[in-house]
Amino acid sequence: MDDIRARAAAKALPLNSQHISRRATVFNRFFAAIYGGAILALFYYHVASLLKPTSLGSFFVSVSLFISDIILAFMWVNAQSFRMNPLHRREYPGNLKELLKKDSDFPALDVFICTADPYKEPPINVVNTALSVMAYDYPTCKISVYVSDDGGSAMTLFAFMEAARFAAEWLPFCRENDVVDRNPAAFFVSNKDWNTRTDKMKEMYEKMKIKVENVLKKAKVGEELVNGEEERMVLDKWTNSFTPQHHPTVIHVLSENSKNADITGESLPNLIYVSRQKSKTSRHHFKAGALNTLLRVSATMTNAPIILTLDCDMYSNDPQTPARVLCYLLDAKLATHLGYVQFPQHFHGVSKNDIYGGELKRPYIINPPGMDGLLGPDYFGTGCFFVRRIFFGGPFSFQSPELSELSPNHVVGKPIKSPQILELAHRVAGCDYETNTQWGYKLGFKYGSVVEDFFSGYRFQSEGWRSVFCNPNRAAFYGDVPINLPDALNQIKRWAIGLLEVTFSNYSPITFGVRSMGLLMGLSYAHYAFWPLWSIPVAVYAFLPQLALINGAPIFPNVWDPWFLVYAFLFVGAYGQDLVEFVVVGGTFRKWWNDQRMWSVRALSCLLFGTMEFVLKSLGFSNFGFNVTSKVMDPEQSKRYEEELFEFGVFSPMFVPIATVATVNLAGGLIGIWRSCGGSGGGGWEKMLPQMLVVGFAVANCWPVYEAMALRNDGGKVPSKITFLSLFLALLICYFAAFLF
């Protein structure tokens, strides 16, 4: 790519531009100074309260609130790193035409798609993702798609056998009709221009879909569905001893661009199925291990200088995406340190007001420009284009792999189906291959955390690499969003465990990160790494003011006290700034309200349980396993999701604190109203109003929980066991709180 960069520099062709919003930056810094002053004033108030305790109970309350506010202040300080220098970029893909005039000018692209369970990640969805990138507006002879099947499923392999045949029709159809939605399922749903050819394509797609889904229902590939001896030979590897946890390596080339062509004679992209060897006695390192296997296998077969990683449900929504990436990778000014180009995650099928806050706008859209103004955004785990060189040490400290064929500079000189290539590919996909090597530590994606994306991006940048956040007007990728509460919480719980693994490792962002990347970048990563700590202040503020209110004990300054204004400013300032930032990136008030509600729900459930599971694991009492988030759409759940009803349904321990908090807050609100109306132990409305405001805010946030506990009778309501358990715990907590106050 160096010669192309040189031509771009010689012609002075602008491939991208950038700008910083000075007004936003000045305002953010000014507001941070004022808000920081208010935090220091609050700390002074807390210290003064601790020095003048009236009882043991009041001392406990003061300490609890002080610790909670210290954590909130710490997280706020970390968050300011995103607001100090937000950078926005723009690409000019039209200028590439002057540089890339023939197919051979384009750099090769390897695409990695990971799947692990055909029942939670339906193969037809994975097929749609693969087809959407195979149909990029990019020379097909330069594209190679590698599908990692960590579930080792013959059904997934069969789905891709069908996909390879369908691609011969689908790719020319997209080119000839200027199709933009190149995921077949998305296209046939959104298309309004029907003709005979379109009808034929849909019929072919539906036949393929039915075949794949029938195989999934039967849990086997019938003999009548096998086409040719080659397919039979590879499917015969699925013997009775073949299990997802124990099986040999399976690598099957489904299409080869030098031999396979579509119906118009154009070459098809390479399409390769990879299921790495599994053994119950070997560590596999979850998704990071699967990606490292693809790194090595792809190096032996194609070794493209650019790598795109995708989740199996994250399909391409813009065929021009690779061109946008080249606008950065071919820029000589960025080339030395640029390691990856990250696109935001967008989601389709989101309910009108995003009831579960599944879009996660803050980590995926709001914060990345702030990191881009420093060293670049973190790695999201999908929708990211890497320079292969990034996996082999820092920009100026190359780490050689153990085999020269795995080096990013190696030129593959044989066809991908040649015996020598396939033999080496099988070797590097073996479960024991990484033993006594640097893979996962100094080479490839990094091991040490189940959030391999966050940890790998963090380590890459600590080695000196930079990244770029590319956020075009048309979303580059779309993925699935969880449509029920258990899936939404389980996903975040896994993140919480992985983030704590990073926090309490030798690579903690607050120490190692600050030393290696600078203060602001280290704080950016610390904001995510310490994310599970939100559970502490949220739990305190979800229980303590309410229990004090029930017992008629004021714990905040009364409304006429100047210190009340400090509390009010901190609350309104934090939520107000969050709302403005949310709306600026296209959100609505209702979506923001649901997003901040889910922030509290996550803190009381998955972040809390993730923290406890991490502690138990650290003490040797728990062994965390990787749970795949289900991508299957249940009709009844989908209906309730569209109606924006919380989906509890199944029993989960994580629901207990949510229901308990809802119960305690409702009791606190009712008793607070009674006291304000002259009930026993009222103590004056001006003393209790601050707690009433906290309780009122919590009760408003808990409305979907009350609805699911008492007002609904569908399959998504709170299980009766959870309701009774939460009532019992609420009574127990209130009983013991009476002794405290």
Sheet hosting strand 466-469, strand order edge to edge: 250-255, 270-275, 143-149, 109-115, 306-311, 384-387, 338-342, 466-469
Of the candidates 149, 453, 480, 595, the residue annotated as catalytic is 453
574 lies in a domain?
Answer: yes
pLDDT of residue 150: 94
Cα distances (angstroms) measured from residue 499 to each of 377, 443, 449, 503, 586: 17, 21, 7, 6, 28
Q: How far apart are CA 313 and CA 478, in angstroms?
A: 8
Between helix 519-529 and helix 452-462 the angle, nearest 10°, is: 170
- Stretch 467-486: mean pLDDT, rounded? 95
pLDDT of residue 21: 85
Q: How far apart are CA 294 and CA 190, in angstroms?
A: 33
Residues 38 and 178 in one domain: no
- Stretch 340-359: mean pLDDT, rounded? 95
Cα Dmax for the chain: 88
Q: Does the annotation count 2 as an active-site position?
A: no
Cα distances (angstroms) measured from residue 68 to each of 158, 359, 519, 535: 54, 27, 24, 10
pLDDT of residue 1: 73
**Mean pLDDT score across all residues of the chain:** 93
Number of domains composing the chain:
2
Q: How far apart are CA 62 and CA 363, in angstroms?
A: 33
pLDDT of residue 53: 72
Share of the chain above pLDDT 90, in %: 82
Please give the single-letter amino acid code of residue 322: P
Strands annotated E in 237-334: 250-255, 270-275, 306-311, 315-316
pLDDT of residue 195: 87
- With b for 16 or more beta-carbon neighbours within 10 A and e for fewer, the 571-595 pattern comes to eeeeeebbbebbeeeebeeebbbbb
Nearest residue to 374 via CA among 481, 520, 484? 520
Q: Global pTM? A: 0.94
Q: Over the stretch 392-417, which tens digit does the pLDDT of each residue have? A: 999 999 999 999 999 999 999 999 99
Give binding residues for Mn(2+) as ranges: 287, 311
Give binding residues for UDP-alpha-D-glucose as ranges: 120-121, 150
Answer whether residue 630 shows pLDDT above 60: no
Confidence at 359, pLDDT banded by 50, 70, 90: very high
687 lies in a domain?
Answer: yes
Residues 124 and 34 in one domain: no
pLDDT of residue 681: 55
Q: Over the stretch 212-237, which tens digit does the pLDDT of each residue have? A: 999 999 999 998 899 989 999 999 99
Question: What CATH number is attached to the domain comprising 168?
Answer: 3.90.550.10
Q: How far apart are CA 480 and CA 173, in angstroms?
A: 26
- Stretch 176-194: mean pLDDT, rounded? 91
Q: How far apart are CA 354 and CA 361, in angstroms?
A: 11
Q: Over the stretch 304-335, which tens digit does the pLDDT of each residue have? A: 999 999 999 999 999 999 999 999 999 999 98
Confidence at 623, pLDDT banded by 50, 70, 90: low
Residues 157 and 57 in one domain: no
Q: How far apart are CA 637 and CA 355, in angstroms?
A: 13
Answer whether residue 499 shows pLDDT above 60: yes
pLDDT of residue 325: 98
- With b for 16 or more beta-carbon neighbours within 10 A and e for fewer, the 389-416 pattern comes to bbbbbbbeeeeebebebbbbeeebeeeb
pLDDT of residue 627: 59
213 lies in a domain?
Answer: yes
94 lies in a domain?
Answer: no
Q: Over the stretch 33-91, which tens digit does the pLDDT of each residue have? A: 999 999 999 999 999 989 887 778 788 999 999 999 999 999 999 999 999 999 999 99
Q: How far apart are CA 512 and CA 526, in angstroms?
A: 10
Residues 400 and 540 in one domain: no
617 lies in a domain?
Answer: no
32 lies in a domain?
Answer: yes
Local structure of residue 715 (DSSP, 8 states): T
DSSP annotation string for 67-125:
HHHHHHHHHHHHHGGGTSS-EEEEE-GGGGGGT--SGGGSPPEEEEEEE--TTTS-HHH
Q: How far apart are CA 111 and CA 166, in angstroms?
A: 19
Answer whether residue 684 shows pLDDT above 80: no
Which residue would you say has higher pLDDT here, 690 or 144?
A: 144
- Stretch 115-126: mean pLDDT, rounded? 94
pLDDT of residue 5: 72
Answer whether residue 374 shows pLDDT above 60: yes
Residues 478 and 539 in one domain: no
- Average the pLDDT over each of 131-145, 390-404, 704-718 and give the range with the smallest value: 704-718
Confidence at 626, pLDDT banded by 50, 70, 90: low
Answer whether residue 674 shows pLDDT above 90: no
Nearest residue to 495 via CA among 386, 596, 383, 614? 614
Within 10 angstroms of residue 436's Cβ, the number of other Cβ atoms is 7
Domain range spanning residue 660?
22-85+521-595+632-740
Q: How far apart are CA 300 and CA 144, in angstroms?
A: 13
Residues 432 and 461 in one domain: yes
Residues 174 and 222 in one domain: yes
110 lies in a domain?
Answer: yes
The pair of three-digit structure tokens given for residue 572, joined into one six-digit string: 């309104």
Residues 199 and 291 in one domain: yes
pLDDT of residue 275: 97
- Average the pLDDT over each of 118-122, 161-165, 424-428, 522-526 and give the range with the smallest value: 118-122
Residues 432 and 472 in one domain: yes
Give binding residues as ranges: 120-121, 150, 287, 311
Of the candidates 110, 117, 149, 150, the residue annotated as catalytic is 150
Q: Does the annotation count 453 as an active-site position?
A: yes
Residues 146 and 53 in one domain: no
- Stretch 376-386: mean pLDDT, rounded? 97
Last residue of one domain, picked from the residues 484, 513, 536: 484
Most confident of 1-5, 113-117, 628-632: 113-117
Question: How many DSSP H helices and E strands does the chain contain?
Answer: 27, 14
Residues 277 and 346 in one domain: yes
109 lies in a domain?
Answer: yes
Q: How far apart are CA 91 and CA 106, in angstroms?
A: 17
473 Cβ contact list (under 8 Å, min separation 6): none
Residues 77 and 111 in one domain: no
Answer whether residue 577 shows pLDDT above 70: yes
